[in-house]
A and B are shown apart, each in its own frame.
Chain A
């Protein structure tokens, strides 16, 4: 069977994302990549933890952070993680329209999160907290901005993935791609859980 052929309910494999050698390789490779990303974010977290009190004349973490905005952002990202897992559930049941619906909701939530982050950064710049204002500023924007960059990349990824495969149904070629995107999105959420805890909540207790 041609791997690019639309799967039907009769020939649908139990794990379409791992039914081909290429799918299996992508699956393993992507998990290794996520292990590496964990270490990459760890370097940024370590730097931030070391430098977070070095704010020079700028505002401190206690003065700066507004928890309600951050809390809302957390809820948005958490919900988008749930909707992407719903999409994977639809993938396993060969329901391509349901999959598209959930991924589009995921995308909208991701974009809303990005919007909140941009708004938050703009507020901070007004209060004199910039990338070059202090070591705390550099470490903060590198860590949180790098995560925001991951969200932005994820949004572009899902847009292109959905657009390219809109009328193709689920095939053995695109099933691993959808699956990996969901993994990536969960991982970005995992990183945010730690940013919420280590940067924002711990920033309030000094």
Chain B
């Protein structure tokens, strides 16, 4: 009987340890994604500030950097990569799709008028 209790405590302890390790791993992901976002911001800032990059290329370049940064936010910080996020994922994808059409549509309308 005592032995059985002992095994149970061990299993319990093991589970707690597993969860703790998982949290540590998640925290590491958050830190890495934070450093990546700082770097992306710095690169974008430098590309414009230094005036060493041709303007038309710089605009395209910083827009790509912004999109990459948003993926870090959505997937790692907002947990879209986790299980059970299919519905939110499709909600956001359709939102972004409509957003892109809206930006191009409105900016285009003003531009041609």
A residues adjacent to B (C-beta < 8 A): 18, 27-28, 31-32, 34-39, 41-43, 45-47, 49-51, 67, 71, 74-75, 78-79, 81-82, 85-86, 89, 92-93, 183, 186-187, 189-190, 193-194, 196-198, 201-202, 204-206
B66 within 8 A of A: yes
Q: Which of B23, B31, B62, B88 contacts A201 (CB 8 A)?
A: B62
Knowing A193-B66, A202-B62 are in contact, say whether A85-B77 is a contact too (CB < 8 A): yes
CA–CA, A46 and B102, complex, Å: 7
Closest A residue to B92 by CB, please name it: A35
Q: Are A42 and B102 in contact (CB under 8 A)?
A: yes
Q: Are B95 and A34 in contact (CB under 8 A)?
A: yes
B residues adjacent to A (C-beta < 8 A): 23, 26-27, 30-31, 34, 37-38, 41, 44-45, 48-49, 55, 58-59, 62-63, 65-66, 69-70, 73-74, 77-78, 84, 87-88, 91-92, 94-96, 98-100, 102-111
**How many Å from the CB of A36 to the closest CB on chain B?**
7
Q: Which of B30, B105, B109 contacts A89 (CB 8 A)?
A: B30
Q: Which of A75, A186, A197 contacts B63 (CB 8 A)?
A: A197
A-side contacts of B58, CB under 8 Å: 205
Q: Are B74 and A190 in contact (CB under 8 A)?
A: yes
Closest A residue to B41 by CB, please name it: A74
